[in-house]
Every structure is written in structure tokens, then in C-alpha cells.
A and B are shown apart, each in its own frame.
Chain A
């Protein structure tokens, strides 16, 4: 199972909005609405911020928004803040009853 494709890095200034894409195939992202996004600060446990494409766990601010079109899912962070600087990963359930992650995107707040 090949990893989902994410940009290696995305940057933005405080207050701006950024969008991270996550491209898969019809066997994963395109085939299910089971796409999740995680925020990972190095040395800490990853944190779930979006599940089922666009649902937020309790406590996650609505600055984080998920969407999907065809084989590509997206995470938009609006009102970028310094604490948003982290690695972000998407994941999807697959037709092989497995999960696949994206390669990760490093978000830098300028």
C-alpha cells in the first residue's frame, strides 16, 4: 500500500489560512469517508484533529477544517497561530482492511 501524497512543507504567517492536500486513490481516500488528520509535535504523541473527513473531536478548535473531493482530502487551518507549527499527517481506511498514512507535511508559521 503506497503512502498517501502530501506536500512536504507548507508555511504561512500568523492569522493567515493554509491548506494541506492529501492525495490517494479510489482504494482509499476516494473510496471511503474515513479520512483522519493528525497534528504531531516531535517527541509527543500525535493528536487527532479531524476524523471522518470533516468531524472534529471535542476540544479541537473550528479553525481546523477538513474536506474531500474525489481522491484528494484537504485540511485547512485558518487564523494560523504559532502553536500550529507541527507535522501534519492524513490517514485513510483502505479496501484491504488496512489504514494508510500520508508522508506528512511540516507546517511552519513565519
Chain B
């Protein structure tokens, strides 16, 4: 089955860290740019970051630049997002999604909930 499955979410204190994972299956992971998109409670979708097929290019939203780091392991078909210096406003469901030839984003995971609270 073609799918993306996020894991690693949870409750973390302000200033803390967390690493999200996104496991891909059923398709050639290394053919796709991969992205993270988040949705705060009751709010809309917000793009967070992207990485190209071999990991040599990354881009970030201004709101997370310098705090979040995207990475991937094509041998393990897995995308990661390291979240550091977390703030209350980072509380959201984090989705991973894929993109190829501008058909973006044609597959999404079910999301991982990150809650930043003391």
C-alpha cells in the first residue's frame, strides 16, 4: 500500500525538543521531494519545510528557520523533522507529504500531534 506514516509526536515543554519521523512505503521514496506541513488547532494548513530527493537542498518557513531541521534517509525510506526550541505556537498536527514534477502534494500522512505546554 502506498502510504506515509508519521510518528514521534507528543507533549513537550516550551524550549524542549522532539524528532518526528515519516515512514514511506509502497513507492520509490527517493524519487520524491518531501515536505512537512502543519495545522494548529482550529487553524489552516501551513507549509513548514521541504527537502529534495538526495537531501542536498532544504527550505524552511521563516517561523521555524533556525529551530527546525529536515532530513531524510533514503535507505530507510524515512523523512525526519527535528524540532528544537519549541514554543506554544508550534502546537499542531504535523503532516508529511510528497511532491514530484509539481504534482504537489499528492500523498499525505495521517499526521502527528505535537503539543508544546508546561
Q: Are A46 and B61 in contact (CB under 8 A)?
A: no
Q: Which of B59, B60, B105 contacts A36 (CB 8 A)?
A: B105
Is the CB–CB distance between A98 and B104 below 8 Å? no
Min C-beta distance of A46 to chain B, whole Å: 5
Chain A residues touching B, range: 20 to 34
Greatest chain A CB density within 10 A among B60, B61, B104 is at: B104
Contact A99 B44 (CB under 8 A): no
Q: Which of A89, A97, A99 is the one whose CB lies under 8 Å from B104?
A: A99
- For residue B1, CB closer than 8 A to chain A, the reply is no
* Contact stretch, chosen from B11-19, B20-28, B73-81, B107-115: B107-115
Cross-chain contact B61 with A1 (CB below 8 angstroms): yes
Please report the C-alpha to C-alpha distance between residue A87 and residue B42 in the assembled complex, in whole angstroms. 12
CA distance A103 to B44 in the complex (A): 5
**Per-residue 0/1 for A76-110: is the Cβ within 8 Å of any B Cβ (1 yes, 0 no)?**
00000000000101010100111111111000000
- In angstroms, Cα B37 to Cα A104, docked, is 14
| Chain B contact residues, majority secondary structure | strand
Query: Chain A nearest CB: distance from B78 CB in Å?
Result: 18
Known interface pairs A97-B59, A98-B61, A99-B35; A46-B45 also in contact (CB < 8 Å): yes
Contact B45 A40 (CB under 8 A): yes
A51 within 8 A of B: yes
Q: Which B residues lie within 8 Å of A40 (CB)?
A: 45
State whether the Cβ of B95 lies closer than 8 Å to any Cβ in chain A.
yes
Q: Output the least CB separation between A30 and chain B (Å).
A: 17
Q: How far is the CA of A38 from the CA of B39 in the complex (A)?
A: 14
List 25 interface pairs A-B (beta carbons < 8 Å), by A numbering: A1-B61, A34-B104, A38-B45, A38-B105, A44-B110, A45-B111, A46-B95, A46-B105, A46-B108, A48-B103, A48-B105, A48-B107, A51-B102, A89-B44, A91-B105, A93-B104, A98-B50, A98-B60, A98-B61, A99-B47, A99-B104, A101-B37, A101-B46, A101-B47, A102-B44
Q: Could you tell me which B residues sit within 8 Å of A by CB distance?
A: 35, 37, 44-47, 50, 59-62, 95, 97, 102-111
